[in-house]
Amino acid sequence: MATLEIKNLHVSVADEEANQPKEILKGVNLLMRTGEIHAIMGPNGTGKSTLSETIMGQPAYQVTQGDILLDGESILEMPVDERARRGLFLAMQYPAEIQGVTNAEFLRAAMNARRTEANQIGVMEFLTTLDHNLALLNMDEAMIERYLNEGFSGGEKKRNEILQLLMIKPAFALLDEIDSGLDIDALQVVSKGVNSLRGDQFGALIITHYQRLLKYIVPDVVHIMMDGRIVKTGGAELAKQLENEGYAGLRDEFNLSVDLMDEN
């Protein structure tokens, strides 16, 4: 069982207008294990995407305090490619388009990057695995020979990222708004792909605004993030409560807890 632990994480980003760093994450604590699906919900601008990109090593975000531990080892000094080789995967809101590199070339290179030289994946094994996952996601085989994400619709990009997830099989997937812009059919297909990986060797952190995704990928744990902190944690029922009541009640509750902490 692998673990991913966020300990008192404070993160800042350059604010060009103010000419000084702006703190976005203000002490995030989170522990997840393989075998678990966690969801993070919260208003816009509260730091959800910052958290996922910081875990993956986005250099624009500066960790000013705290740590990120993968199996008990700090990854703060590791470059992005090393974090990926260690088993982290980020599905971004806006995947990049890369001309000149086909999906097939990218997928095989990514899979081999996590293997030793003596254990590189063979052509037949790669194609068999690829065909299986294409069928699972109802993806056209022609997409494999297209350049990575070039000319893809929003839905095609999301399916393509889930295809990458299925092929690479990381220990932990950070899924940042994978439901954004998807219709119900595409949402069900994407959810089917994620659910197919559920098990002792896989964990996921899902960032979403809406409970609708969590109807298809039922989380074990739900975290509510506000003002750069995780203010409440519960089970799947917490997402349903949030859908019904909104953030107003939680905001009042959070402000009250801050006042109490200040007094102490």
Question: Cα(95)–Cα(97) distance, rounded to whole angstroms?
Answer: 7
Question: Cα(214)–Cα(177) distance, rounded to whole angstroms?
Answer: 12
Structural domain boundaries enclosing 197: 3-263
pLDDT at 255: 62
Question: Cα(167)–Cα(173) distance, rounded to whole angstroms?
Answer: 12
Question: Cα(127)–Cα(108) distance, rounded to whole angstroms?
Answer: 10
For residue 261, pLDDT over 60 is answered with: no
H helical segments located in the chain: 48-56, 80-85, 103-113, 123-136, 154-168, 184-195, 211-214, 236-245, 248-263
Looking at the 3D structure of the chain, how many domains does it have?
1
DSSP 97: P
Average pLDDT, stretch 240-252?
79
pLDDT band of residue 79 (cuts 50, 70, 90) is very high
pLDDT at 240: 87
Angle at 247 between CA 243 and CA 251, to 5 degrees: 155
pLDDT band of residue 50 (cuts 50, 70, 90) is very high
30 pairs with which residues across the strands?
Answer: 6
pLDDT at 258: 40
Q: To 10 degrees, what angle do helices 123-136 and 154-168 make?
A: 130
Q: What percent of the chain has pLDDT over 70?
A: 95
Average pLDDT, stretch 231-247?
88
| Six token digits for residue 150 | 């070039």
The pTM assigned to this predicted structure is 0.89
pLDDT band of residue 228 (cuts 50, 70, 90) is very high
Mean pLDDT for the chain overall: 90
Phi, psi for residue 81 in degrees, rounded to 5: -65, -35
Residue 130 is part of a domain; what is its CATH number? 3.40.50.300
For residue 241, pLDDT over 70 is answered with: yes
pLDDT at 95: 81
Average pLDDT, stretch 151-160?
87
